[in-house]
Amino acid sequence: MVRLATSIRDLKKEYVLKSETVRALRGVSFDVPEGDYVAIMGPSGSGKSTLLNMLGCLDKPSSGQLLLGDDDISRMTDDKLAEVRSRRIGFVFQSYNLIQQLTVVENIQVPLYYQGRLGPKERQRCVELAALVGLRDRLDHRPTQLSGGQQQRVAIARSLVNDPYFILADEPTGNLDSRTTAEILAMFDQLNNEGRTIILVTHEDDVAERARRIVRLKDGLLCSDKQNSEEERTRARQASLAAAEAVRDE
Ligand SMILES: Nc1ncnc2c1ncn2[C@@H]1O[C@H](COP(=O)(O)OP(=O)(O)OP(=O)(O)O)[C@@H](O)[C@H]1O
Ligand SMILES: [Mg+2]
């Protein structure tokens, strides 16, 4: 049986403000099997970040069920939620969110440091993660001494340090030029081919078509859920490489 990285059932989220209640998610259901690669799309305000925040245990649903592995997020106390977030969630943001004073390898260590779990074995693992994202010879660089793509690769390595249920990424290529976008998407392809589950939010068709599957939200509801064929994924990969080449030739 395929194990599920997450299972979402009739998920609702309401933000109660003074004058009104915003129904950001109005009953969303879908499953993500382990090893899947899902792009979440939808117009501004459709609930994408709200959904990602629930998956990342940054916020709790108003109702419905959200399973991460065997953990039911919707029933957790805030303390337990914070623990799951720090131990089992890997986030990648548009703006990298690296600590400027720390080196590459120290930035990757940050989640373990906060959990008080940074022993010799863990330090070695952080070096291996830096190597995995192609930064073995940049361990002691600081973020200002790296390109945008290298900074995002540090963020990806940091997201993996916890052995997360999945990599969650909110517009991870939003700040990157086409060459660097190609580089980061190749990184995601590699990680997914090694079996890691990826869930990302994007506005760009080229990015979404690289994923195995596109889930679209509209007005807080799921409006479509489509598998990308291998042909579509290959075409998107080639388009991304061509765009990167065009920049290189300029
Ligand atoms: N903390 C909050 N308090 C009140 N309303 C909120 C809050 N966060 C989001 N919303 C509202 O919930 C709805 C969904 O917002 P969300 O940020 O999930 O959209 P999105 O799909 O990520 O949009 P974008 O593409 O612009 O990032 C919007 O109407 C937004 O105004
Ligand atoms: Mg958003």
CATH number at residue 189: 3.40.50.300
Q: Which of 18, 20, 46, 51 to mutate to test the pocket of ligand 1 (most atoms within 8 A of CB)?
A: 46
Q: How far is the CA of 6 from the centre of ligand 1 (A)?
A: 22
Closest-approaching ligand to the CA atom of 53:
1
The two structure tokens encoding residue 125: 């693992």
CA–CA dist 62, 126 (Å, integer) = 37
> Is residue 18 domain-resident?
no
Please state the atom number of ligand 1 nearest to the C-alpha of residue 46.
21
- How deeply is 59 buried, as exposed, middle or buried, from its count of CB atoms within 10 A (0-12, 13-18, 19+)? middle
Cβ atoms 74, 65 nearer than 8 A = yes
Least-confidence region, from 9-23, 39-53, 166-180: 166-180
> Is residue 243 domain-resident?
yes
Q: How far is the CA of 46 from the centre of ligand 1 (A)?
A: 7
pLDDT attached to residue 71: 86
Please state the atom number of ligand 1 nearest to the C-alpha of residue 13.
12
Q: How far is the CA of 140 from the centre of ligand 2 (A)?
A: 33
pLDDT attached to residue 195: 93
> Is residue 20 domain-resident?
no
Nearest residue to 226 (alpha-carbon basis) of 238, 240, 239, 208:
208
**Domain count across the chain:** 1
> Is residue 67 domain-resident?
no
Give Cα 80 to chain centroid, integer Å: 21
pLDDT attached to residue 243: 86
The residue among 174 and 140 whose pLDDT is bigger is 140
The answer, yes or no, to whether residue 200 has pLDDT greater than 90, is yes
> Is residue 63 domain-resident?
no
The answer, yes or no, to whether residue 247 has pLDDT greater than 90, is no
CA–CA dist 226, 249 (Å, integer) = 35
What average pLDDT does the segment 221-237 reach?
Answer: 96
Closest-approaching ligand to the CA atom of 42:
1
> Is residue 220 domain-resident?
yes
Instruction: Using pLDDT thresholds of 50, 70 and 90, give the confidence band for residue 107.
Output: very high
> Is residue 1 domain-resident?
no
> Is residue 231 domain-resident?
yes
List ligand 1's pocket residues with C-beta within 6 A: 15, 17, 22, 24, 42, 44-50
The answer, yes or no, to whether residue 249 has pLDDT greater than 80, is no
Please state the atom number of ligand 1 nearest to the C-alpha of residue 25.
14
Q: Which domain holds residue 242?
A: 35-58+85-247
Give Cα 189 to chain centroid, integer Å: 13
The two structure tokens encoding residue 107: 């930035």
